[in-house]
Amino acid sequence: MVIRLAGMIKGVTITKERARQAVFLAVACILLHPLVAGQASDFYGSSIDTLNGDAGYFFKPATVIVFARVTSNEMISEAVPARLFPEVLLVQRRVRCQVIEYLKGAEDAGEKKELEFTYYTAAEPRAWRPIYKTLFRAQLGRKYIFSLVIERGALRSVGDVGSQYAIEVHAEPVDVPGALGKMMADQVSRLEVSSFGARIAEILLSPCGSCDPIEFGASLSGYRALSEQFAGRYRTFKLLRRLISEALPIRKEACWALNSAFLWQASCLEELSTDERLPEPQRQQFARQATLVRSNERELESELADPARLGWGRMIHPDSLRQNYEELLVLREHSSPKVRALASAALRRYYPRGPVR
C-alpha cells in the first residue's frame, strides 16, 4: 500500500515507511532548530515531548545510546525560565558515568570509557507543569540506558525533565548462555531481530544478580513491553521464562508479565498457587487465575486442530505472518504435550519453509 502526497510532492509516490521517516525528520528539524541556530536551550515542552512515545521511542533521534553507571550528577546552573514555558523554572545538571556498553554511536562519543552529558530538570519539582508523570533520574551508582544527542560539540540528553529519556536497568546483564542461546540463535536470528534490539532485551531481562528483586520485579511490565518492541515476542517469552527461576518477588512478576502478554501460560501460576512462602490470599489468587487459563485451553486445542478456525482465534494477528509464527513457537513450548504437538503441526502446515519476515 502506498500514500500519494497530492499537492505536496507532485507526481511522487512514497511508501508508508518513507512517509513516516519524512514526518519524523520534519519533527526533528523543528525540535533541534535551537541547536542549529547555536542557541543552548532546554527541550522542555518541545516537539519531542508531544510525541507521547514510550521510552524506546526516543532511541530513534539519539546519536549515542549508552548503557552506563552514574558516577556523579551535579547542578551546573542557576534556575532559569524554560524556553517555551517561562513560568517553569529549570536547572541544568551534568552527569558523569562509567560506560558499560555502547549500544549506538560509540565513534560519535569517541569510544570513551567515561562520558559526561547534560540535561535540564525542574528547579522545584512540586511546581512543575505536569507534562511528565515522573522526573528524569540519574542517581549515583545506578545503571541506565541513556539516549543522547550532540549539542554544540557536547553530549546532552535527547530530552529534558521527563523520566522516559533514561531507562533504569536493575539486572546484571549477561550473554544468553548454553542451550537457550543455541535455541535463540537457531530460531530467533532467522526472524531478523537486529543485534541492537536483541541486546536491549537481554540487558533489561537478564537475571537479577545482586540487584533489589522488588525493584526489578516492579519494572518487569515496562521491560516486557520494550523487549517485545525491539526483539519480538518469542525472544521476550524466552527471557521472561528464564526469570521464573529467580527470587520470589521476580518470579511472581515474571509470571504475571507472561500471562498478561501471552495466552495459556498456566504452569507458573499453578506453581505459585502452592508456594508456601506466599500468603494464603495470594496463593488463592494464583490458583483462580490458573484454573481460568486451563479452562480456556480447550478452545486453544480446537483452534490449533481445525485450520478453518485458526484464522479467527485470539492467537492470530491478521496483519503479521511473523507474529503468528512467533506465537506458534511460543505454543510449541506449552506444558501440554497435545498443545505442543498441535503447534508443531501448525508450523509445518503454515510455515513449511520456516521463519518469515
Interacting residues of 76 by C-beta distance below 8 A, sequence separation 6+: 92, 93, 94, 118
Closest CA to 184 of 259, 251, 246, 236: 236
What's the whole-model pTM score? Answer: 0.76
Contact 146, 139 (CB under 8 A): no
Contact 126, 97 (CB under 8 A): no
Contact 69, 142 (CB under 8 A): yes
Interacting residues of 95 by C-beta distance below 8 A, sequence separation 6+: 70, 72, 73, 116, 117, 118, 119, 138, 146
- The size of the chain, in residues, is 357
Return the bridge partners of 97, or none: 70, 115
The Cα–Cα gap between 19 and 35 comes to 25
Contact 78, 120 (CB under 8 A): no
The Cα–Cα gap between 242 and 110 comes to 36
Range 272-281 contact pairs with CB under 8 angstroms and sequence separation of 24 or more = 275/248, 277/248, 278/248, 278/252
pLDDT at 50: 61
The Cα–Cα gap between 67 and 167 comes to 9
Residue with cell 511522487: 12
Between the alpha carbon of residue 286 and those of residues 178, 222, 259, 260, 296, the distances in Å are 31, 21, 11, 13, 16
Buried b (16+ CB within 10 A) or exposed e, 224-250: bbbbbbbbbbbbbbbbbbbbbebbebb
Which amino acid does the sequence have at 235? R
The Cα–Cα gap between 316 and 327 comes to 8
Using DSSP's 3-state secondary structure scheme, residue 102 falls into: strand
Task: Enter the DSSP assignment of 153.
Answer: T
Contact 204, 170 (CB under 8 A): no
Residue with cell 486442530: 305
Closest CA to 79 of 69, 89, 65: 89
Assign domain 47-169 to its CATH architecture: Beta Barrel (2.40)
Instruction: Give phi and psi for 151, each to the nearest 5.
Output: -120, 115
Instruction: Report the interhelical angle of 233-242 vs 321-331 (nearest 10°).
Output: 30
pLDDT at 85: 82
Domain with CATH 2.40.50.120 in the chain: 47-169
Question: Which run of H or of E encompasses 101?
Answer: strand 89-104
Per-residue pLDDT of the chain (357 residues; tens, 9 = 90+): 333 333 333 343 444 544 554 444 444 444 444 443 344 588 887 776 666 556 677 788 889 999 999 999 999 999 999 888 888 889 999 999 999 999 988 888 888 899 999 999 888 766 555 556 677 889 999 999 999 999 888 999 988 887 778 999 998 875 543 434 444 444 443 344 468 888 999 999 999 888 999 999 999 999 999 998 888 889 999 999 999 989 999 999 999 999 888 877 889 999 999 999 999 999 999 999 999 888 877 777 777 776 555 554 555 555 567 777 888 888 888 888 888 888 888 888 888 877 654
The Cα–Cα gap between 331 and 303 comes to 12
The Cα–Cα gap between 345 and 324 comes to 14
Question: Which run of H or of E encompasses 99?
Answer: strand 89-104
pLDDT at 40: 56
